[in-house]
Structure 1
């Protein structure tokens, strides 16, 4: 399970036919991208912004250019609303206040929804996905800042404070036992992708490629071909290892290279809640799914479970598939 990671770390890369205009270089650059759209009577617009610890990019295409700006504004409002509810990168978010105070009255529905999903996934995965691993992140990040690894006693103490079954969730309040902390970083970017796609659909946008830290695509590329998504090679992550084509729906990658605490990537930001250490079998897992929330959460759980256990978990969800990369 993942704890809070420093901002601006990217886990995936886009291939040319994917949505962001900067990624259109493989098709001749931004001018060519727009030219393809114009030839089909489409206007396009891309907007980027920093949220949830990463740079987000939304690319839309539509026959009515006037429809694009309101859709983009609404989509980024949706992202900010998720951030205000469920981000650990904002000290004033509802989730940050819950971790600080141990109780949150009248919780925001945008916190309740991903938290309830997280707890359901924790049960389905036998605890491999656990949103209460925040004490492990705090321990490992603090030790790394000192150039150390956590000692055994400190690790045991942190693990003792990890247990999703001890979280009390209700419409009136969320309560945590003393010393416990929640993180939704293992799925909140996927949740944001779902909110963005729903917002765009409500504004009549059918052709879109979004990057909220996880990816989503609907409709087609402005040149009329299906969208494609390039997946990073964990060694090195700037190289594309595989292309998903056509790409529609949502995709999420969890990898050991996003935030590492050791040069060999043996220790990283994804934790096995049972041991407090990083799982050793896989370098990355990419999950495609009908929702961003499902893709994001399953990719994290599968990193902990390994290929056999992760594959079995993912097979239990309709419309999901996984690509596993063993540890190099």
Structure 2
């Protein structure tokens, strides 16, 4: 069964093209760049079951066009490796067949971090929670809660130690299934950023469902990132300024199974239920992959343990928003 979109939209690229369009229009965005001798390019599309957008500025329009094309190619490669929206992805094949030889590098990178986080958090982060998704989604479609027996059976199939992993081969124990939705958009942000920098681009803002920024806004000011209020999507709870590096958010609103959002798409692997204490967590980190994984882990761990987890990594920071 296809999972819900993995996008956890609690971040708004305030200095990205979409926000500028709302304030002054794309023409004004181009004018700001032209005043500093820069061209701009923005390309939007669909990936990972959601909308994505890349914005870059620089003196060479051809390099910008090539960089954005490379960025989208990188996203397609990440989808081919780890998207459950694609039946032909390497991850989908692994879940069906229980074994994958010569896994693609993107899958190795994502699963490697996933298993490292699982070990470090004693399973609070666990990529094998995929069996819980159909139990909850099918019950929600009936307007009900999962049958306790069915939920216990699904929990019994969860456990990161059920995965035998090397860069050359991945083997799953029978009944095990993986999801990398908690990592894939952050990893895509890393791959896109590398593609842009490979073309010499030094000013860019990327939205793959998680966010990354380098350099500055075309008017010379720092990029900014707004953290949306999880209960009022049109409002901001905070603004990160300046914003550079990567940011990811996990929240209880991306896919909820109950009107009060007590039950949602982020699961506590030990119980099969959702963590109840937080509405969202935003993590800033030096890579999108790490920011994405830490944000999900912190949703399960809660503020005290989550802060300790993030504090162990230089350059990382975390913001918690409690239930309201």
Q: TM-score, normalised by structure 1?
A: 0.96
Q: 1:172: Cα distance to partner? A: 2.9
Aligned to 1:51: 47
- Cα separation, 2, equivalents of 1:9 and 1:106: 28
Residues in 2 aligned to 1:172 and 1:25: alpha-carbon distance in whole angstroms = 46
User: Which residue of 121, 124, 129 corresponds with 2:120?
Assistant: 124
Aligned match for 1:91, one of 87, 90, 114: 87
Alpha-carbon shift at residue 131 of structure 1 (Å): 0.2
Distance (whole Å) between structure 2 residues aligned to residue 15 and residue 205 of structure 1: 19
Q: Deviations over 1:212-265 (max 9, x none)?
A: 000000000001000000111011223211100000000001000111001100
> Structure 1 stretches of 5 or more lacking a match?
none
RMSD of aligned Cα (Å): 1.4
| 1:155-166 map, 5 Å | 155-166=151-162
2:266 maps to 270
* Residue among 5, 10, 14 paired with 1:12: 10
Q: Deviations over 1:150-191 (max 9, x none)?
A: 111111111110000120012332110111100000011000
From 45, 50, 63, the equivalent of 1:67 is: 63
Matched-pair contact (CA < 8 Å) for 1:4–1:137: no
Deviation of the 1:26 alpha carbon = 5.4
Task: After superposition, give the CA deviation of every residue in 1:97-142 in whole Å (9 maximum; x if it has no partner).
Answer: 0001111111111111110110001111111100000001121112
Q: Secondary structure at the match of 1:284?
A: strand
Q: Secondary structure at the match of 1:258?
A: coil
Q: Residue 211 of structure 1 aligns with which residue? A: 207
Q: Which residue of 2 aligns with 1:326?
A: 322
Separation in structure 1 between the aligned mates of residue 22 and residue 36 of structure 2, nearest angstrom: 20
Deviation at 1:7, TM superposition (A): 3.4
Give the TM-score, by structure 2 length: 0.97
Please show how residues 300-311 of structure 1 align to structure 2 within 5 Å.
300-311=296-307
Unaligned runs of 5+ in 2: none
Cα separation, partners in 2 of 1:15 and 1:48, compared to 1, 3 Å: closer
Q: Deviations over 1:22-53 (max 9, x none)?
A: 21035412121111101001100110111112
Give the drift of 1:13.
4.1
| Map of 2:106 onto structure 1 | 110
Aligned to 2:12, what secondary structure does the other structure show? coil
Q: Cα–Cα, structure 1 residues 10 and 121, in superposed 2: closer, same or farther, change >3 Å?
A: closer
Give me the whole-angstrom Cα distance separating, in 1, the residues matched to 2:113 and 2:6.
Answer: 26
1:81 offset after TM fit, Å?
0.3
Count of equivalent residues: 324
